[in-house]
Amino acid sequence: MMSSVRRRTAVLALFAAASLPAHALHYEGQDFPDTLQLGGTALQLNGVGTKVFVMRYSAYLAALYLPHKVGTPEAIYAQAGPKRVELRITIPLVKNVSTQEFVKAINKGVSRNCTDAEKAAVAERVKQFNAAISEIGNVKKGDLLHIDYLPDQGGTVLSVNGKVWGKTIEGQDFYIAFLKVFLGDNSDARLRAGLLGQAS
């Protein structure tokens, strides 16, 4: 039988292990946890990338969390369950950035990376999502955006610094169209590679 001293040592070791921070990916001076809980599901960090604007300055860092880590856009689109795109605003040159820049990027990304049928199917929901983004007005360095797909809540939820904006956007097809802004064939190659877990 285990002695009381050994039992106490084992218990202390378990508590010490539980208190250790989760593993994280250190990228561009920031830490991204390897795993997180969303909608009752443990998600894994699939990859992290940088969106670079003019003058080669980073505008934001993007992280993609999925139920299972995969290496192709098609495998990402096919996965059921919650998903998260996290955007960390990093642009250093101005105090804030109009969210109309995101609206333009989403419209352009959907137009370039979705089929005509896909665009027609999600058109009204893209407008709904963009209206929610427009309500935010501006974002600044340090702001944190989450675009979460939560099947149990009916679809896509947008939040900024923990505050939810707009209504839930229904349908997995909308979230796939949103993901194609980042992962489609005509998306930013460097950012896409990072989110796929490849060298960016």
What share of the chain has pLDDT > 90, as a percent? 77
Q: Give the pLDDT confidence score for residue 199 in this predicted structure.
A: 62
Q: Give the pLDDT confidence score for residue 13 in this predicted structure.
A: 41
Q: Span 167-185, mean pLDDT?
A: 98
Is the model's pLDDT at 153 over the cut of 90?
Answer: yes
Is the model's pLDDT at 11 over the cut of 70?
Answer: no
**For the ranges 58-62, 120-124, 134-138, which has the lowest average pLDDT?**
58-62
**70-107 tens-digit pLDDT:** 999 999 999 999 999 999 999 876 678 889 999 999 99
Q: Give the pLDDT confidence score for residue 184 in this predicted structure.
A: 97
Tokens of 123: 């058109």
Q: Give the pLDDT confidence score for residue 31 in this predicted structure.
A: 96
Q: Span 43-54, mean pLDDT?
A: 89
Is the model's pLDDT at 15 over the cut of 70?
Answer: no
Q: Give the pLDDT confidence score for residue 22 in this predicted structure.
A: 54
- In whole angstroms, how far apart are CA 34 and each of 8, 63, 126, 133, 198? 31, 10, 30, 27, 16
116 contacts 192 by C-beta, under 8 angstroms: no
Is the model's pLDDT at 29 over the cut of 80?
Answer: yes
Average pLDDT, the chain: 88
Region 23-195: CATH code: 3.50.70.10
Tokens of 171: 């349908």
| Of 1 and 92, the one with more pLDDT | 92
Q: Give the pLDDT confidence score for residue 95 in this predicted structure.
A: 72
For the chain, what percentages of helix, strand and coil (3-state, to nearest 5) are there? 40, 30, 25
Q: Could you state, in order of their start, the residue ranges of all structural domains in the chain?
A: 23-195
**For the ranges 7-16, 71-80, 103-112, 163-172, which has the lowest average pLDDT?**
7-16
Is the model's pLDDT at 21 over the cut of 50?
Answer: no
**126-136 tens-digit pLDDT:** 999 999 999 99
Q: How many CB atoms sit inside 10 A of residue 78's CB?
A: 10
Helix (H, G, I), strand (E, B) or coil at 79: coil
